[in-house]
Amino acid sequence: TPRVLEYDVDGGRDLDIFDINEEAGLNLVEGDIELDEKQAR
Amino acid sequence: NSIIGDQYRWPKTVPYYFEDDLEINAKGVILKAFEQYRLKTCIDFNPWEGEQNYISIFKGSGCFSSVGNRHVGKQRLSIGTNCDRIATIEHEFLHALGFWHEQSRSDRDDYVTIMWDRISEGKENNFNTYNDTTSSSLGVPYDYGSMMHYSKTAFRNGTEPTIVTKIPAFADVIGQRMEFSDNDLLKLRRLYNCTRSSTFLDTCDFERENICGMIQGPGDQAEWTRVIQAPGGPNTDYSNMGKCTGSGYFMHFSTATGRPADTARLESRLLYPKRGYQCLQFFLYNGGGANDQLVILVREYDEAHPNGTLRVIQPIYAPPQDLWQLHHVSLNVAKKFRVVFEGIKGDAPSTGGLSLDDINLSETTCPDHVWRVKNFSHVMETTPNNKPIYSPPFKSREGYTFQMGLYPSGKEGYPGELSAYAHLVTMTGDTEVRKWPCPWKQMTMMLFDQNPDIMRRMNNQRSVTTDPTKKLNETSELFFWDDPLKVGVEVSEADGTKYFRGPGAGTTAYLTHGRAKSRDFIKGGDAIFLLTMEDVSHLTVTQPVPSSTMPPVTTITTAILPPTDPCTKVTCGNEGVCVVDAENAVCRCAVGDDWWYYGENCQYLGSTQDTMTTALIASFSVLGGMLVVTAVSVVCVKRKYKNSGGVGDRGITMSNVSV
């Protein structure tokens, strides 16, 4: 049987949360935590 | 580990708002994540109805959240591209509910070694710990299996791990993003004082002699018995597969004796439904005669029928074979009830009977289809890399046919992985009218963790959604999810069936072989995939906003609001929300612990520091004013006495006066 097209929803990469955020250029605490004003202070 | 402080807790029912920018697939997976919270904890989620604080879920540039309830009104939680996995979403919501990462707890150095020289420069602060006055591990031991734990590769600068577990067996366990671990659930239940979960009803593996409060039904001629082996099979139970001597019980109804049409009823304890729909799941072994049958009924109770009335749900089709078969039955019960397993002896000869094990009942929807891959360990080891196997085509509730493609040894370049794709299918000769390209159907491929207890399962699942506007590729005029007759290839199965298989969507990295061999993903040698196709087109519309409030102007256009709403003319800045008070639109501004916005449109920022400054200035002004008044008074009095020259005692002789 000829192959059909297969589309990788994550581009063929097993990205963890922290990899995704790093690629997005986010500089969050512990990779995925957003601080509010008080915490940031 | 959790952030200490009651102010960080949400109410047990958390209000949420789906922002319009969220992907449809992400919305569907978020709803699945909520269902896991409802099943396994007492946390529930409700669409925002105007509560002061709510979680706004939006598509940011990544996956992130704040820790705990920050009391800011609209609290952001981002589910961006590639974040639409159930475990990622559950992870972010655990943050929002008040949890930090597991390896930041104060005692982590007892359990893992941080390899500081392997961490990318400037990223070391991601490995800070919180002391036990800031965070609490809630009396739960360090959890390598937590879905809040970093993986061993987190923030590394090369190829070597940044986190080394002190017990080597856990090196590849950390960083699992499949489902809640037992300890994740324990901590969440402790933090929120859970006494029961929202949608769980019952589980039973028959290991205990009380058989989970089940009873032998009245009006039958035979009994179910608790055994560890049955003549005619099975030789072991399903929960333990006979691994533990002295345990491994299941319930058996022997049809080797008795008369045809004899029945044996096994009834669950009394159950109290809330939702009105349930999924009953159980394993059945038919080692009896060809006509022996199991029928699922419910006994419903109300004031008019205090002894209950029986209602047949459905007979189970389970031909005799040497196999524990997985079955799902959808129930629709809205009043107090028992589930009834009725075994009926057929008229064919039998040397065995019917057996039941690992029963679970929850107020959830059932999966649509079961694909069992026999001898899966062998399949993983022997299938060449880049060679797929396919499930049978399954028909969805809306009439579409689909199937799962699985690469047991991964796609090319991904050895040691399971790769998985979902395909639409059109059967040859199928003339049913459907809409093409297929609009907004979410296909979920779940590798079933066959733990006997539904609460302890860590199923591995991925979902893809058919976007009818998606093109086959950048230059094509064809649509990806169009009729497979048009965009697929013809397939001929060994049994002679023919169909067209459309393009697939999925992932090369569905699950590693290491993880697939862990837990109960493979039991008795077999793996079970649960496949579902659901309509998610209702998620393409904007979530209604509460009638008396308007969401922040950055995310919702005023066009969707009724024209008479006074809030349409008011813009509240700085994430304030507009409410209607006595038919007037007023802004309710965002506030924090020591800061707040104020003004007609929340345009000013205030803080406790400002208040203190104001108070000090006011105090000094008053003090200064008083000093001036005192000084003026003294001067005036002095002048007065100076001018009068001592006339004050005129005419009075001061003699013989004692004071």
Query: How far is B265 from B327, CA to CA, in rounded Å?
Result: 18
Task: Determine contact, residues B139/B190, Cβ cutoff 8 Å.
Answer: yes
Please tell me the predicted confidence (pLDDT) of residue B628: 76
CB contact under 8 A, B91 and A17: yes
Rounded alpha-carbon distances, angstroms, from residue B94 to A32, B69, B97, B191, B209: 12, 11, 5, 11, 37
Which run of H or E residues covers position A3? Answer: none
For residue A4, pLDDT over 90 is answered with: yes
The pLDDT value recorded for residue B639 is 74
Confidence of residue B265 (pLDDT cuts 50, 70, 90): very high
**pLDDT tops 80 at residue B441:** yes
Task: Using an 8 Å CB-CB cutoff, list residues of chain A that contact chain B.
Answer: 1-18, 20-21, 24-26, 28-38
| Record: contact B405-A6, CB cut-off 8 A | yes
Q: Do A31 and B464 touch (CB under 8 A)?
A: no
The pLDDT assigned to B199 comes to: 97
What spatial distance separates the first Cα and last Cα of chain B, rounded to whole Å? 78
Contacts of A13 in chain B (CB under 8 A): 509
Q: Is the pLDDT of residue B29 over 70?
A: yes
B62/A24 touch (CB, cutoff 8 Å), yes or no = yes
Find the CB nearest A36 among B72, B150, B417: B72
DSSP state of B357: E
CA atoms within 13 A of residue B454's CA, in its CB half-sphere: 27
Select from B362, B379, B654 the least CA-distant residue to B517. Answer: B379
Residues in A closer than 8 angstroms to B472, CB to CB, are: 5
Q: Is the pLDDT of residue B420 over 80?
A: yes
Neighbours of B328 (CB within 10 A): 16
The continuous run of DSSP H or E covering B312 comes out as strand B305-316
Tell me the per-residue pLDDT of B91-150, one tens digit each, with 9 for 90 and over.
Answer: 999 999 999 999 999 999 999 999 999 999 999 999 999 999 999 999 999 999 999 999
Helix (H), strand (E) at residue B57: strand B54-58
pLDDT digits (tens, 9 = 90+) for B511-558: 999 999 999 999 999 999 999 999 999 999 999 999 865 444 333 322
Query: What does the DSSP 8-state code read for residue B168?
Result: G
Nearest to B149 by CA among B190, B93, B108, B98: B108
Contacts of A18 in chain B (CB under 8 A): 150, 154-155
Does residue B215 have a pLDDT over 70?
A: yes
> B552-583 pLDDT, tens per residue?
433 332 222 333 455 555 666 666 666 656 56
**A35 or B653, higher pLDDT:** A35
Residue of chain B whose alpha carbon sits nearest to that of A15: B82
Residue A14 confidence (pLDDT)? 85
The residue with tokens 């007609």 is: B600
The arithmetic mean of pLDDT across residues B372-383, rounded, is: 97
Nearest C-alpha in A relative to B425? A4
How many whole angstroms separate alpha carbon B192 and alpha carbon B12? 7
Q: Which pLDDT does position B83 carry in this prediction? A: 97
What angle is formed at CA B79 by the lines to CA B74 and CA B85, rounded to 5 degrees?
140
**Single-letter residue type at B236:** T
CA distances from B471 to B81, B490, B525 (A): 18, 20, 40
Q: Is the pLDDT of residue B372 over 90?
A: yes
Strands B460-465 and B163-165, bridge-based pairing: unpaired
pLDDT in tens, B309-329: 999 999 999 999 999 999 999
Are residues B507 and A25, on separate chains, in Cβ contact within 8 Å?
no
**Helices marked H in B419-546 — which ranges?**
484-487, 513-516
* Residue A16 to chain B, least CA–CA distance (Å): 8
Query: What residues of B are in contact with residue A34 (Cβ under 8 Å)?
Result: 64-66, 76
Find chain B residues with C-beta within 8 A of A1's C-beta.
489-492, 501
Residue B85 is predicted with a pLDDT of: 97
pLDDT of residue B445: 98
For the cut 80, the answer to whether the pLDDT of residue B72 exceeds it is yes
Q: Could you give the CA distance from residue B327 to residue B204 in angstroms, rounded to a whole number?
A: 15
Going by pLDDT thresholds of 50, 70 and 90, the confidence category of residue B253 is: very high
pLDDT at B335: 97
**Tokens encoding B420:** 């998985």
Among candidates B62, B125, B508 on the partner chain, residue whose Cβ is nearest the Cβ of A26 = B62
Asked if A1 lies within 8 A of B81 by C-beta distance, the reply is no
CB B413 within 8 A of CB B431: no
Mean pLDDT of B345-364: 97
List of chain A residues whose C-beta atoms are within 8 Å of the C-beta of residue B488? 4
Backbone angles phi, psi at B520, to 5 degrees: -115, 35
- Closest partner residue to B464 (CB to CB) among A9, A14, A20 is A9
Q: How confident is the model at residue B246 (pLDDT cuts 50, 70, 90)?
A: confident
Q: Which of B147, B225, B232 is nearest to B187 (CA)?
A: B147
Choose, out of A32, A37, A39, the residue to mutate when testing the contact with B (most B CBs < 10 Å).
A32
Interval B426-454 mean pLDDT? 96
Contacts of A27 in chain B (CB under 8 A): none
Average pLDDT, chain B: 90
Closest CA in chain B for residue A28: B64
Residues of B annotated as catalytic are 92
SS3 B182: helix
Positive or negative: CA dihedral B87, B88, B89, B92: positive
Nearest by CB: A4 against B76, B88, B488: B488
A37 and B66 in contact by Cβ < 8 A?
Answer: no
Q: Do B62 and A16 count as a contact with CB atoms less than 8 A apart?
A: no
Closest alpha carbon within chain B to A13: B509
CB contact under 8 A, A9 and B506: yes
8 Å CB contact of A6 and B83: no
Instruction: Determine the pLDDT at residue B219.
Output: 86
pLDDT of residue B610: 54
* CA distances in angstroms from B380 to B188, B299, B318, B373, B490, listed in the order given: 36, 44, 28, 10, 26
Angle ∠(B649,B650,B651) on CA atoms, nearest 5 = 115
| ipTM > 0.95 (yes/no) | yes
Q: Assess contact for B221 and B184: CB atoms under 8 A.
A: no
A39–chain B nearest CA distance, Å:
10
Angle between helices B86-97 and B182-191 (to 10 degrees): 30
The CB-side HSE value for B89 (13 A sphere, CA atoms) comes to 28
Which structure tokens are listed for B402? 């689909």
